[in-house]
Amino acid sequence: IAGITQAPTSQILAAGRRMTLRCTQDMRHNAMYWYRQDLGLGLRLIHYSNTAGTTGKGEVPDGYSVSRANTDDFPLTLASAVPSQTSVYFCASSVAGNNEQFFGPGTRLTVL
């Protein structure tokens, strides 16, 4: 692994289904983030984690949950997907909360 990876690359999901988006980084960064990006809007923060074992809510956390069991992994779960969660999801990481963020390649999610 080089940098930050996300899986899957894209997914079509039926409404009401549960889905976990995976994010893994090998840079030993302390902070990790999940954003969604929708056309015409800026990136919006869903959840973040400043260090392993801690998480926090961002601007649009409803319908999403995260966990940070270790430094490298930061999965995002949609418990019961709805069409408004159709978006491109980016995971990012940074050395600490006050440094530049490095982004994964994104997951394009469509909820029907």
Partner 1 sequence: GQNIDQPTEMTATEGAIVQINCTYQTSGFNGLFWYQQHAGEAPTFLSYNVLDGLEEKGRFSSFLSRSKGYSYLLLKELQMKDSASYLCAVRDSNYQLIWGAGTKLIIKP
* Shortest CB 108 distance to partner 1, Å: 9
Phi/psi for 3 (5° steps) reads 95, -125
Which residue among 78, 89, 101, 109 contacts partner 1 (CB under 8 A)? 101
Smallest CA-to-CA distance from 47 within 60, 31, 38, 37 is with 60
Binding string to partner 1 for residues 35 to 74, with x set by CB under 8 A, is what?
Answer: x----xxxxxx--x---------xx---------------
Residues 29 and 102 sit within 8 Å (Cβ to Cβ): yes
Binding region for partner 1 (CB under 8 A):
35, 40-45, 48, 58-59, 90, 97-98, 100-106
